[in-house]
């Protein structure tokens, strides 16, 4: 097994990774490192929870550090400033752009950057720019902070570029995180505009847990001879084998009552519960609250402050059960979720992969429970074939989960 020392990383970054408890790269981190360091465009697909964010952050920060170290050494010869030894300082220019589809994912990516840079003594400035934020405040933040990395939603970045409020002529790398969502119709025109605003030689990296042929074809408009890495097809494993999949068959009207009983029987620690519609989510939330379960919800219509507070409470353990729709949850990267429950099976098959991958991250054991009707059994069989997983039917007996 390789270690991060095999990558010949800057000592500051190695120290930061060590403080984070990261010693061995995941497969996606190991297989993309060389392409990123060699300035190749890249399309990378790997299952949820395999470390895709760090797969691009580590090499990109290492490149920036190596480039800036030489500049700092040269400048130190001509200054008497008392600069902290071994701290690496950066020029005031945007050099990396990370595009994200949601505020939640953006906040988490920005948080990972801040954490790794702080632990590595790298004086880099990262700024989060999202579509829901006040644009005038964001413009002031750009002027004041002079960020080296911006994490942003495509619509907001495109608007800032058109207003000439952010300079992108020195950007060396453009990253699309959750590229399958970013390359859809809603974002595609903004993506094309952003790419055309950058230097011709700007590196483009696409990362996702699912990559369709359509997405890869669309990516040809923004990439140049990209390296294509599909670990899901290579390994025939879209969902980690550490996750177990079980299901219960019920009458449609029994869904919420069965959920309540399963939650009581499982008591599986931090649990994420997926519901297809906001109406059903609200009804379920009220009934679980009535029965005194420690529950929160992130419906798509919540304001950002409330949603952020609920997510933080779930992360810290103040909330044990979190209800979410697919729209509200995409981009969430919350560690130590032990159980995922599908009150409804998702509308699109690929969403089952994204849902299940919220638990069992980084090699941990996870459990994905689905509550279905007899008519939905064909979907279960479809998932088995599509994702190379096995489902086991269960039932409740005297308050415990048992076999058929």
- Dihedral over alpha carbons 91, 95, 99, 102 (to 10 degrees): 0
Tens-place pLDDT, residues 135-187: 999 999 999 999 999 999 999 999 999 999 999 999 999 999 999 889 887 88
How many Cβ atoms from other residues are within 10 Å of residue 136's Cβ?
9
C-alpha 38/C-alpha 24 separation (Å) is 21
87 confidence band (pLDDT: 50, 70, 90): low
Higher-confidence position of 236 and 331: 331
Is residue 44 a contact partner of residue 207, using CB atoms and an 8 Å limit?
yes
Higher-confidence position of 238 and 203: 203
Q: Residue 362 has what DSSP assignment?
A: G
Tens-place pLDDT, residues 107-123: 889 999 999 999 999 98
- Mean pLDDT score, 265-281: 88
Q: Residue 22 has what DSSP assignment?
A: -
C-alpha 30/C-alpha 23 separation (Å) is 12
DSSP calls for 319-363:
-SEEEE-HHHHTT---TT--EEEESS--SSHHHHHHHHTTSSGGG
How many Cβ atoms from other residues are within 10 Å of residue 3's Cβ?
12
What pLDDT, on the 0 to 100 scale, is given for residue 233?
A: 59
Q: Whose structure tokens read 């395999």?
A: 50
- The crossing angle, in degrees rounded to 10, of helices 52-76 and 103-119 is 40
What pLDDT, on the 0 to 100 scale, is given for residue 213?
A: 83
Residues 6+ away with beta carbon under 8 Å from 65: 10, 12, 13, 88, 122
Residues 6+ away with beta carbon under 8 Å from 157: 97, 99, 129, 150, 166, 190, 194
Tokens of 161: 């570029």
Tens-place pLDDT, residues 347-396: 888 788 888 888 877 778 899 999 999 999 999 999 998 888 999 999 99
Most distant CA pair in the chain, distance: 78
Tokens of 371: 């509550």
Is residue 390 a contact partner of residue 384, using CB atoms and an 8 Å limit?
yes
HSE-CB for 265 with a 13 A CA cutoff: 17
């Amino acid at each position: 097994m390789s270690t991060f020392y095999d990558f010949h990383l800057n000592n500051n970054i190695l120290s930061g990774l060590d403080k984070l408890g990261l010693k061995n790269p995941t497969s996606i981190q190991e297989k993309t490192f060389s392409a990123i360091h060699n300035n190749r465009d890249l399309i990378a697909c790997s299952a949820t929870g395999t470390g895709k964010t760090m797969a691009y952050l580590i090499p990109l920060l290492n490149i920036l550090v190596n480039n800036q170290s030489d500049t700092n050494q040269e400048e130190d010869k001509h200054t008497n400033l008392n600069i902290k030894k071994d701290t690496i300082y950066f020029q005031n220019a945007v050099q990396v752009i990370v595009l994200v589809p949601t505020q939640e994912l953006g906040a988490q990516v920005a948080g990972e950057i801040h954490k790794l840079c702080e632990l590595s003594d790298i004086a880099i400035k990262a700024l989060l720019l999202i579509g829901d934020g006040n644009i005038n405040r964001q413009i002031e933040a750009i002027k004041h902070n002079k960020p080296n990395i911006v994490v942003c939603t495509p619509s907001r970045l495109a608007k800032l570029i058109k207003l000439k409020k952010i300079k992108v002529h020195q950007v060396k790398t453009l990253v699309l995180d959750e590229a399958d969502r970013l390359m859809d119709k809603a974002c595609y025109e903004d993506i094309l505009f952003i790419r055309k605003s950058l230097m011709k030689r700007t590196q483009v990296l696409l990362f996702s847990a699912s990559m369709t042929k359509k997405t890869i074809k669309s990516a040809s408009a923004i990439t140049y001879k990209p390296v294509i890495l599909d670990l899901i097809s290579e390994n025939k494993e879209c969902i980690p084998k550490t996750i177990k999949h079980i299901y219960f068959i019920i009458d449609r009207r029994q869904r919420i009552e069965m959920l309540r009983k399963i939650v009581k029987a499982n008591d599986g620690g931090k649990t994420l519960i997926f519901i297809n519609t906001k109406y059903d989510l609200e009804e379920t939330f009220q009934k679980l609250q009535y029965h005194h379960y420690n529950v929160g919800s992130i419906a798509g219509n919540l304001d950002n402050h409330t949603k952020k507070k609920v997510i933080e409470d779930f992360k810290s353990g103040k909330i044990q059960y979190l209800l979410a729709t697919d729209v509200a949850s995409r981009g969430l990267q919350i560690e130590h979720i032990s159980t995922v429950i599908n009150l409804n099976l998702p509308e699109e098959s690929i969403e089952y992969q994204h849902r299940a991958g919220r638990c069992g991250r980084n090699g941990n054991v996870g459990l994905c429970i689905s509550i279905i009707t007899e008519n939905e059994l064909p979907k279960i069989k479809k998932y088995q074939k599509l994702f190379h997983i096995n489902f086991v039917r269960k039932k409740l007996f005297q308050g415990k989960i048992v076999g058929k």
